[in-house]
A and B are shown apart, each in its own frame.
Chain A
C-alpha cells in the first residue's frame, strides 16, 4: 500500500469522528503550546540578563590584586590593600596582549565631593580615557579625559548625573566649574550620559571620573594600582585575552612555575554564565513540567486509539477480508495516531506562538521564540504519536479476521 493511500485511509477514518479526533488532539495541543510558551519565557529572561550585562560591558576584563599571604597573626587583607599591580603591568599588557581594544589602570577612593554649600558622598575613579569605552559609558556634555590630562596629572573630572544633581542643586551648568573632592579641587570638564541602576541596584551614575595620575598622586598618594580594566575586542576572544594577561602579569611579577598568582583576573563571562545557568535551570524546570503534559497528551492518544481499535474490530476484520495485510492495518492505525499528534502539534505550535506573544505584550515579560523549541516539540509530537499509537496498532494488526468479523 502506498503512502498516499495510507494518508487517504487515515483521513477518511478520522473524518468519521471529528470531535473525538479533536479531543484526542487537545492533550497534545496543550502540551506543545506549554512547551513553546515556557521555553520562550525562559529564553527571554536569559537574554534579558545577558543584555543587562552586555550594557555593563560584557567583554570587560578586570584585574585585581590578590594575595593569599596573611599578615602576622593570620589576618588576611582585602584586595585593595594588597599592593602588587603597577603602571608597568599596564604598559606590558598594552605591548603584549593583542586581543584587547581598550585598557585602563584603575584606582578609586571614597570621599566627600563639595561644591559651595552642597556636599555628597561619592566615589572617584582614577582611570585613563579608555575607561568610558570599557564601561560602556559616554559623555553627554563637555568632553572626556585626554592622554594629555593623564600625562600632566591634570585636576579635571567628568561627573555622573547623580553627582551633578546633588552638587548643582540650582540647575547651573557644571562644565567649567570647580568642585572639591576632599581637599583637592577638580575642574569639571564633562557630564556622563545617565545609565541608571545596574541589576544589583547600584547607581551607575554616582561616580566621578578623573585621570588616574591625579587620583594616585593627589588623593591617594600611592604608586600602586587597585585595578586594571581591559576590554576584549569581542566576547569570543575574551578568554584568550584573559590567558594572555595572566601570562604577561606572571612574567612581569617574576612568578616562578607553581607559585600562586598575586592577582586575580575576572571576566563578566563567568558572571553571565552563572546567571544564565540559573535561568537555564528555570527553563529546564518549566520545560520538564510542560514535557510531562506532552506525555499525558500521548497517553490520551494511546487511550483513544485503544478504544478505537476495540470499537472498530469489525471494520478491521472487514478490511482484512478485503485483502488488507496485517502491516496495512498496523500502518493505518499508526498513521491515524501520527496524524492526530502532528495536527495537534501544529495547532499547539500556533497556540504557543500566540500565547508567548500575548504574555510578551500583556505582562511585558521578555519572550523569545526559538525555532529549535518549535522543531523539537513538533518532532516530539510525531514521535509521541508513533510511540503511543504503536501498541494499539499492533493489537489491531494481530486480530484474527474471522473473529474480528464476528465481533459484536
Chain B
C-alpha cells in the first residue's frame, strides 16, 4: 500500500452475528482518501454508515478486506495498539460533543494528551491553548461546557480533535445537534481547517446541504458504495453564513 493515501480501503466487509442470523452491514467497500481531502460519507440509516465510521475510527475491526490508515494495517493490530492509533492519528468529533461535564474547556482539550506518554503538564497546557486558538475560543478556556453554547461546545470538541495533530479528523454528524446558523459556523471552521491547514477531514452526515460544503461525497446504500465522486460545486460555508438574515434577537 502506498503511503500517499491517508486512508486506503479494499473490499471491506463487516458481518454481525445476531442470534442465528448473520447481518452483513458492509458488503465490500473500497475507496481511498488523499491528504488534504474533505470527504463526506452520506447514507440513510441502515446503509452501513455507522459501521463504516466505527471501522474508520479504529473502534471496530473489519471481518474481511483491508484498511490502512497512514500506512498502518489496522487488521493486524490488537486492542491496545488500536487505542494508540486512535490517540495519535484520529481526531474524533461527535454529534453530542461528548465533553466532560464540570470540566473546563482547556482540560477537555487536554484529554487526548493525557493518554500520550512523554508530555509534561506545561506542554499539554500550551498545546491545548493553541488548539483553542485555532477554534477561536482561547478566551473561554476556563469555561465549563454548561457555560458554553452548543456551537461553542462543538468548537471545543474540534479543538480536542486537533490537539494531538492527527492525520485525519473524523466527524460523526457533527452538526446534527445544531441550528442552521451554528451548523454553518462549524462548517466554516471545518473548511478553514481543510483549506488553510490542509487537514484531512472525513465527515459523516445524512444532510445533503452539509455534504455540499465538502470536496467529495461518498454515498452508501445497503453496505455498498452507491456513488463516489467530487462535488461539482463546492459551496463556501462562510458565504452561506453571510447570506443568512441577521440573527433576530427575541
Contacts and interface: CB of A to CB of B under 8 A. Distances in A.
Interface of A: 1-2, 4-5, 8-9, 12, 15-16, 314-315, 318-328, 401-402, 405
A314 B96 CA distance: 11
Contacts of B83: 320, 323-326, 328
5 contacts: A318-B94, A320-B59, A321-B57, A322-B92, A325-B115
Which 6 residue pairs are nearest across A and B when measured between Cβ atoms?
A: A323-B87, A323-B115, A16-B102, A322-B112, A325-B83, A318-B98
Nearest to B119: A5
Interface in B98-128: 98, 100-103, 107, 111-112, 114-117, 121
B115 A324 contact: yes
B54 interface: yes
Interface in B31-80: 54, 57, 59-60, 79-80
B107 A323 contact: no
Q: Which of A8, A9, A315, A318 has the most CB of B within 10 A?
A: A318
A201 B54 CA distance: 84
A326 B103 contact: no
B182 interface: no
A319 B88 CA distance: 13
B111 A319 contact: yes
Nearest to A4: B121
Contact of A314 (B59, B98, B116, B117): B98
B86 interface: yes
Nearest to B80: A325
A34 B14 CA distance: 58
A1 B87 CA distance: 12
Contacts of A1: 114-115, 117
B149 interface: no
B107 A12 contact: yes
A107 B199 CA distance: 107
B108 to A, nearest CB: 10
A12 B98 contact: no
B84 interface: yes
Nearest to B104: A12
A372 to B, nearest CB: 38
A2 to B, nearest CB: 7
Contact of B117 (A2, A12, A320, A322): A2
Given A15-B102, A322-B86, A323-B88, 13 more contacts: A1-B115, A4-B121, A5-B114, A8-B121, A318-B98, A320-B86, A322-B111, A323-B84, A323-B86, A328-B83, A328-B115, A401-B59, A402-B59
Contact of B98 (A8, A325, A326, A405): A405
A323 B112 contact: yes
A403 to B, nearest CB: 10
B100 A326 contact: no
A1 to B, nearest CB: 6
Contacts of A315: 100
A402 B111 contact: no
B166 to A, nearest CB: 10
Contact of B54 (A8, A15, A323, A402): A402
A345 to B, nearest CB: 26
A401 B94 CA distance: 13
A322 B113 CA distance: 9
B59 A9 contact: no
Q: Which of A319, A322, A401 has the most CB of B within 10 A?
A: A322
